[in-house]
């Protein structure tokens, strides 16, 4: 099931985006990578809170992926 991290500040542009891990549980302190929709830069996010589990996520969320072994 997808996990949502709503209204979180983006390290690339400073704006708040809703981030989503499409498949799996988003855990606090783990690294996730995504592409900022404003700057098109690849960034790494380490959330300080767990995400909200959803059945479906909205169109327009920023999709994230798990960073393995500290690499993006």
pLDDT digits (tens, 9 = 90+) for 10-68: 999 999 999 999 998 899 999 999 999 999 999 999 999 999 999 988 889 999 999 97
Domain membership flag for residue 72: no
Asked if pLDDT for residue 69 goes beyond 90, the answer is no
Domain membership flag for residue 46: yes
**3-state DSSP call for residue 3?**
strand
Quote the pLDDT of residue 36.
98
Tally of domains within the chain = 1
| pTM for this entry | 0.85
**3-state DSSP call for residue 7?**
strand
Quote the pLDDT of residue 68.
78
Asked if pLDDT for residue 72 goes beyond 50, the answer is no
Domain membership flag for residue 11: yes
Q: What is the rounded radius of gyration, in angstroms, for the C-alpha atoms of the chain?
A: 11
Sheet with 32-35: strands ordered across: 42-45, 32-35, 65-66
Domain membership flag for residue 53: yes
């Amino acid at each position: 099931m997808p996990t949502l991290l709503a209204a979180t500040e983006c390290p690339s542009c400073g704006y708040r985006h809703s981030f989503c891990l499409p498949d799996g549980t988003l855990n606090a302190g783990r690294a996730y990578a995504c592409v900022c929709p404003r700057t098109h830069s690849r960034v790494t996010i380490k959330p300080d809170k767990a995400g909200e589990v959803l059945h479906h996520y909205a169109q327009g969320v920023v999709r994230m992926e798990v960073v393995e072994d500290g690499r993006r």
